[in-house]
Chains A and B, each alone.
Chain A
């Protein structure tokens, strides 16, 4: 039985196909530079460039006290009505933290 190599297997979905299921849903995005986004996914592409609506951005910083060497975690949040996210900054995309059986 000759094994034919197909350029694309129709059965297996790619991770990007599964992101498509999250369109128009709220998602959580973990980004470089200790940033996180929570917003509604309006559009995306293969680079993971994304259009997010009603976004809350959380920036996490760690300050180290010179004397006590204590690590102080600070978060800064801001809200943005509509945002274009460049894909190369994206690390991870997930539904907002909730327990869901897929």
Chain B
């Protein structure tokens, strides 16, 4: 499944999908990707925050400032425990 794809193409593709956003601080956010921009500023819906265990639930929108983002990953249907 290798095809030439720029990171910005990837970012366009994953909008609307459930994602995992990991921050530089190690905090994990899981939610549906509403939108993002070139600075990796992120808007998530139905967000859950994980630090070791589950800490807080955020409903509605959560905006994450891009400089804190380590990575954005999609969640596959089968999640490894």
Complex: how many Å from CA A48 to CA B68?
13
| A59 CB, nearest partner CB in chain B, Å | 16
Q: Tell whether, in the assembled complex, residue A87 and residue B65 are in contact, meaning their CB atoms are under 8 Å apart.
A: yes
- Could you tell me which B residues sit within 8 Å of A by CB distance? 15, 23, 25, 34-37, 41-43, 45, 47, 56-65, 67-68
State the main secondary structure of chain B at its contact with A: strand
Q: How far is the CA of A16 from the CA of B43 in the complex (A)?
A: 9
B59/A100 in contact, CB under 8 A: yes
Cα–Cα, bound, A15→B43 (Å) = 5
- The total of chain A residues at the interface (CB under 8 A) is 22
Nearest B residue (CB) for A18: B43
Give the nearest-CB partner of B15 in chain A.
A12
20 contacts between A and B (CB under 8 A): A14-B36, A14-B37, A15-B34, A15-B37, A15-B41, A15-B64, A18-B34, A18-B43, A91-B68, A92-B63, A93-B62, A93-B65, A94-B60, A95-B60, A97-B57, A98-B59, A99-B59, A100-B59, A101-B60, A102-B61
